[in-house]
A and B are shown apart, each in its own frame.
Chain A
Amino acid sequence: MTEREMFLHTWEREFPITLKVLKAFPPGKGDFKPHERSQSARQLAWIFVQAQVAIDQVLKGTFKLPPQSPDVPQKWEEILATYEKLHNSLMILLRKASDADLNKPMTFFLRPGKMGEIPKMQFLWIMLSDNIHHRGQLSVYIRMAGGKVPSIYGPSADEPWM
């Protein structure tokens, strides 16, 4: 399996889990945040869309820093619909991209305050990890907002396996 194949496989596997977590968020609680300095649930959920937009731009060669993406919708259903729609179009682009395309360099953060070149493939992995990180955060929001946390990589207190 090449690194590109490995990424595609992982990205596809993670998508339905993220969708399940987004769908588990209680309706009408999009403004919930667990702390005054925290992002609201809507802002957090929109990060999954922002990541898709960024990858789409990177693959098309139009990505610029700071990243450009649409404003956060008011309605949770709109976030969900956008996330699902972009996933499908992004998968088409990702499947078309060659290993050579993904090994081309792009400008990104190397560390805090330091810019430099990284392979596009590395950017894709960063986006994947960032999504998993934010999905973990959202799972805490769900329970606090009155929802039930579905299984992510294993059972949860709300969805025990045994």
Chain B
Amino acid sequence: MTEKEMFLQTWEREFRTTLKVLKAFPANKLDFKPHERSTPARELAWSFPMEDRMAVLGAANGRIDFDDFPKPPATLAEILSAYEKEHRELAGKINNLSDADLNKLIPYQMEPGKGREIRVGDLLWFAVMDGVNHRGQFAVYLRMAGGKVPSIYGPSADEPEAGGFF
């Protein structure tokens, strides 16, 4: 399996899980945040399509546009619709990348004051992991907002019959 094949397989699998988690969120609780300094649920949900977009367009264009991050829409239905649409379009862009493209270096600022380059393949993997991190956060929001957490990598207290690991 090539890195691109491996990436696409992982990306698709995680997308389906994230979509399930987003759909489980109570639609009228998008302003919820667990702490005054926390990101509201609407913005956290919006980060899934937007961060995928930033990374994949960065990979395809050779330049990451950190300003291309529109404000979130008002409703969960719009966020879900945008996520599914972005995902389909971005999958096409990933498919157009060659394995050699994944090994190209593009400019990236990983840490403050440390401008550097990142391998395109690493940028894509980074976006997946960041999505997993934010989905974990979102799962906590979900239960606190009155929703039921679906199985993610294994059963949850709300879906114990799913079977799984921890």
Q: Are A133 and B133 in contact (CB under 8 A)?
A: yes
Q: Are A144 and B163 in contact (CB under 8 A)?
A: no
Residue contacts A-B, CB under 8 angstroms, 16 given = A34-B144, A47-B166, A50-B166, A67-B165, A109-B163, A112-B151, A129-B153, A132-B132, A133-B132, A133-B152, A136-B139, A140-B38, A143-B34, A154-B130, A157-B39, A161-B112
Interface assignment of B154: CB less than 8 Å from any CB of chain A: yes
The answer for the CA separation of A48 and B37 in the assembled complex, in Å, is 26
Q: B151: nearest residue on chain A (CB-CB)?
A: A112
Q: Mark B134-166, 1 if CB is under 8 A from A, else 0.
A: 111101110110000001111101100111111
A15: shortest Cβ distance to chain B, in Å?
13
B-chain residues with CB within 8 Å of residue A3 when the two chains form the complex? 6
B-chain residues with CB within 8 Å of residue A162 when the two chains form the complex? 112
Interface assignment of A98: CB less than 8 Å from any CB of chain B: no
Q: Mark B6-47, 1 if CB is under 8 A from A, else 0.
A: 100010001000000000000000000011011100000000
A138: shortest Cβ distance to chain B, in Å?
8
Q: Are A112 and B132 in contact (CB under 8 A)?
A: no
Q: Are A140 and B129 in contact (CB under 8 A)?
A: no
Q: Are A112 and B161 in contact (CB under 8 A)?
A: yes
Interface assignment of B126: CB less than 8 Å from any CB of chain A: yes
Q: Are A112 and B153 in contact (CB under 8 A)?
A: no
Interface assignment of A141: CB less than 8 Å from any CB of chain B: yes
The answer for the CA separation of A93 and B34 in the assembled complex, in Å, is 40
B120: shortest Cβ distance to chain A, in Å?
14
B63: shortest Cβ distance to chain A, in Å?
18
Q: Sort chain A's interface into a size bin.
A: 35 or more
Which residues of A pack against B, CB within 8 Å? Answer: 3, 6, 10, 34-35, 37-39, 47, 50-51, 54, 67, 108-109, 112-114, 125-126, 129-130, 132-137, 139-141, 143-144, 152-155, 157-158, 161-162
In this complex, which of A34, A51, A153 has the most chain B Cβ atoms within 10 angstroms of its Cβ? A153
B154: shortest Cβ distance to chain A, in Å?
7
B-chain residues with CB within 8 Å of residue A155 when the two chains form the complex? 112
Task: Say whether, besides A133-B135, A153-B133, A109 and B154 are in contact (CB < 8 Å).
Answer: yes
B-chain residues with CB within 8 Å of residue A67 when the two chains form the complex? 165-166
Task: Say whether, besides A67-B165, A143-B34, A143-B35, A34 and B137 are in contact (CB < 8 Å).
Answer: no
B33: shortest Cβ distance to chain A, in Å?
10
A-chain residues with CB within 8 Å of residue B155 when the two chains form the complex? 112
A50: shortest Cβ distance to chain B, in Å?
6
The answer for the CA separation of A140 and B38 in the assembled complex, in Å, is 8
A-chain residues with CB within 8 Å of residue B151 when the two chains form the complex? 112
Q: Are A34 and B34 in contact (CB under 8 A)?
A: yes
Q: Which of B136, B139, B141 contacts A135 (CB 8 A)?
A: B136
The answer for the CA separation of A34 and B118 in the assembled complex, in Å, is 37
Q: Are A112 and B163 in contact (CB under 8 A)?
A: yes
Q: Which of B125, B140, B157 contacts A137 (CB 8 A)?
A: B140
In chain B between 84 and 113, which residues have their CB closer than 8 angstroms to a CB of chain A? 111-112
